[in-house]
Amino acid sequence: MTTYLIRRLLQSIPTMLGITVLSFFMMQAAPADPVDLMTFAPGTKVEDKIALAESLCLDRSPVEQYFVWMFGSANCKTNGIIRGDFGQSFRNRQPVIDLILERIPATLELTVWAMVIGVTIGLLIGVLSAVLHRSMFDNLARFFSVVGDAIPAFWLGLMLILLFAVQLGWLPAGGRIPLRDNDITIFDRAKHLI
């Protein structure tokens, strides 16, 4: 078992390396120049743009930029993504890791509730389909399972927001109620969670 785990771990290294290379060069292929995005203010001097590009090592070749992005550099303002330094947000001018950590509670809340609801409903439908094998319920359950898998989740989510929030007005279209807010009822919390 240990050799299997070690072998799988070693096999994951080229995969992770490939993902980083693909991610980096997809960012490089973007039409916008990062320096232009960061110095969007009118009247920015060319010298300031050049100094910013040099400080972020954006004046180097793409291969050198990749290694700086991965492992960091003493000359650049980065420690590399290997060390958890994801850089600064162009929009907010904050460290990206801070923005990620700020949103983790909402992500975990949605993930836990989605798992609880999904596993509960899935087990219930699975048991009923097994007990009522080849019945109308079993056929409908299998049909809707296949249809549910075939529909892209992002599209279905947008259509459900359009129906229940925009057209019917039953649910809010967005927003989240923090867990610390004690003045909100469970019903309101559930409406915002959906």
Q: Are 164 and 171 in contact (CB under 8 A)?
A: yes
Q: How many residues are recorded in the chain? A: 194
Rounded CA-CA distance 80/20 in Å is 12
Residue 137 tokens, joined: 């319920």
Rounded CA-CA distance 96/98 in Å is 5
pLDDT at residue 3, rounded to an integer: 92
pLDDT at residue 12, rounded to an integer: 93
Residue 61 tokens, joined: 């070749």
pLDDT at residue 181, rounded to an integer: 66
pLDDT at residue 103, rounded to an integer: 87
Rounded CA-CA distance 105/126 in Å is 31
Rounded CA-CA distance 27/34 in Å is 10
Q: Which residue in 46, 45, 49 sits closest to 58, CA to CA? A: 49
Q: Are 137 and 144 in contact (CB under 8 A)?
A: no
Torsion angles phi and psi, residue 30, rounded to 5? -60, 145
Q: Number of C-alpha atoms within 13 angstroms, CB side, residue 164?
A: 14
**b (16+ CB within 10 A) / e for 26-36:** eeeeeeeebbe
pLDDT, tens digit only, all 194 positions of the chain: 889 999 999 999 999 999 999 999 898 888 877 777 777 767 778 888 888 788 778 888 888 889 888 888 777 777 888 888 888 787 787 888 999 998 898 889 889 988 999 999 999 999 999 999 999 999 999 999 999 899 999 999 899 989 999 999 888 887 777 666 667 777 777 777 77
